[in-house]
Amino acid sequence: MTVLDLARLQFALTAGLHFLFVVLTLGLAPLVAILNTRWVRTGNPVHERMTRFWGQIYVINYALGIVTGLVMEFQIGLNWSGLIHYAGDVFGAPLAMETLVAFFLESTFLGLWIFGWHRLPRGLHLACIWLVALTAYASAFLIMLANSFLQQPVGVVDKGDRLELVDFGALLTNSTLVFSFPHVIAAGLVAGSFVMIGASAYGLRRHPGERELFTRSLRLGVVVAALGTTMTSGFGYAQFAGVQEGKFTGEGPAQVALGVMTLIGDNLILVALFVLLPLVRWLPRWRRLHPFLIALTPLPFIAAIAGWLTRELGRQPWVIWQKLSVADALTPGLTPGMLIASSAAFTGVVGVLAIIDYLLIARVIRRGPTRLALGAGPEVPEPAPVPSL
């Protein structure tokens, strides 16, 4: 393999694994916020335990996903200095803003929510998780803003060896951003809802004493899945109207990824709308269907990776469409040995984190909503014995 092939493979592996964390974060954040809202409004202890259970899964995924994001930043700086030199003033600005949003605002609000249980007023505590969800969406918007510029560079002038931003408004109204951002948000809802559906089906089989909690969770997951799959499909197909000439022509990896994405997406919307939603009242009691619901869990993640590959491979051989090629974006002086070593390090770290993420989440699901660290009340010391006279 050439240096360019190795660099592209490294980026594909690390970015693809990181994206798995992202879609689950985008999907679970609003679901946890909805559950928290129900608890505050009703005072129902079941809603509190649901919030803690799904919130703990969210926190695990978010914490490990942050580290994989750091690996992505290191990789871009090491391997793609040509991109940074040519378009860093444009492409780098949304990424810098995303870092501020993700690492400062989102992490701060999440920290307040995690450690604010039984300390903050319920209304203020609830506001924290909604701010977490909103900042997660803002982070996704900035990432898609940068990616949409790569797909269709607008608002810039070419100064020879670099691009200069002259119209920030054009970036915000980029035609490739208008539909791609809600498409990604909807894909996150699909991933989060099917995790909730699969885990709830498992919980109903393994923890019969928690029937009410997992019944409510399963029904919420089905409703969100129906909404998410509809939005994902609608915004996904709407993007084809603005695809530049030359993309997705012929046969190649981009077309294969596109086929996988549409096949899974179209079938998930059929299942969600015409099987799960009409049967939502009876699904918790139909144990024979529960293995099927569990088996659906990985499909949204496969479709999300296929969608990301479609978007990235579709503009080859360009990093910035018809302005900067992938070869010109590569850092000069890289050798195959350097890339093999860095690939082993970066891919190893992200791969291990992905495995840990899965194992920790699976452990929480197996245990059920017992012995949860998130939101555990303060221990009340036993009263000291009264000395006898």
**359-371, pLDDT tens digit by residue?**
999 999 999 998 8
| Token pair recorded at residue 203 | 């919980």
129 closest CA partner among 23, 53, 30 = 30
Instruction: Identify whether the C-beta of residue 21 lies closer than 8 Å to the C-beta of residue 301.
Output: no
pLDDT at 70: 85
148: Cα within 13 Å, side-chain hemisphere:
26
End-to-end Cα distance, the chain:
87
CB of 372 within 8 A of CB of 53?
yes
What are phi and psi for residue 320, nearest 5 degrees?
Answer: -110, 120
Selection from 74, 68, 81 nearest residue 348 by Cα: 68
Lowest-pLDDT choice from 160-174, 176-190, 230-244, 337-351: 230-244
Residue 299: Cβ within 10 Å count: 19
Given a contact cutoff of 8 angstroms between Cβ atoms, the answer to whether 136 and 26 are in contact is yes
Cα separation, 293 vs 194, in Å, equals: 8
Indicate the range of 111-125, 237-251, 314-328 predicted with least confidence: 237-251
Is pLDDT at 380 greater than 80 in this prediction? no
Closest CA to 83 of 149, 140, 141: 149
Q: Which residue has the higher pLDDT, 280 or 378?
A: 280
Q: Is residue 387 reached through a cis peptide bond, with omega within 30 degrees of 0 on the bond before it?
A: no
Name which of 30, 39, 40, 29 is nearest 123 in CA terms.
40
* Residue whose C-alpha is closest to residue 364's, from 222, 202, 245: 202
CA dist., res. 263 & res. 282, Å (int): 27
**What distance in Å separates the CA atoms of residue 86 and residue 162, rounded to the nearest whole number?**
4
* SS3 state at 377: coil
CA distances from 62 to 158, 309, 362, 364 (A): 38, 23, 15, 15
Which H or E element spans position 75? Answer: helix 45-79
Residue type, 376: A
pLDDT at 246: 62
pLDDT at 244: 65
Does residue 158 have a pLDDT over 70?
yes
pLDDT of 388 > 60? The answer is no
**pLDDT tens for each residue of 231-248:** 999 999 888 876 766 666
The whole-number average pLDDT for the span 42-63 is 95
**Residue 136 burial (C-beta neighbours within 10 Å; 0-12, 13-18, 19+):** buried
Give the Å distances, CA to CA, from 103 to 19, 213, 365. 17, 32, 27
Strands (E), the chain: 156-158, 163-165, 318-320, 324-325
Q: pLDDT at residue 22 above 90? A: yes
The pair of structure tokens assigned to 197 is: 């559906």
What are 35's two structure tokens?
A: 């559950």
